[in-house]
Amino acid sequence: MTVVEIQCPECGSLGVVRYGRQANGEQRYRCNNVACKRRIFLLQYHHTGWLPEVKLQIVDMVLNGSGIRDTARVLGVSSMTVMSTLKKKRRHFIR
């Protein structure tokens, strides 16, 4: 048997414990670091629209002039994911 140490993708802490399973059977993990913004995570996401990296790419592409449908097609997410991400981030743009 091998032991694999899992690191929190947000804070890099090794204080990670298993935290149940998703409805599809995927293992969830929880970071025990109190200061961590993202406490519960998966090792692999099936829906890439949930990944923070993809959300940053959505914002970057739209700020550089790409349309909603173009962004969705390039990143492989739905156009509703692009629109909801932009709605959540709009208060950062309006000043």
Question: Per-residue pLDDT tens for 48-77?
Answer: 787 888 899 999 999 899 999 999 999 999
Place of tokens 């629109």: 83
Task: Mark whether 38 and 55 lie in a shared domain.
Answer: no
pLDDT tier at 92 (50, 70, 90 boundaries)? low
Q: Could you give the percent of the chain with pLDDT greater than 70?
A: 94
Tell me: do 6 and 21 sit in the same domain: yes
Place of tokens 């492989």: 76
Tell me, what amino acid is at 62?
V
Indicate whether 39 and 73 sit together in one domain. no
Same domain (yes/no): 57, 36: no
Q: Say yes or no: 35 and 56 in one domain.
A: no
Looking at the fold, whether 5 and 35 belong to one and the same domain comes out as yes
Q: What is the mean pLDDT of residues 44-50?
A: 76
End-to-end, the C-alpha distance of the chain in Å comes to: 55
The whole domain housing 67 covers 48-93
**Gap between the Cα atoms of 2 and 10, Å rounded:** 24
Q: What's the number of domains the chain is made of?
A: 2
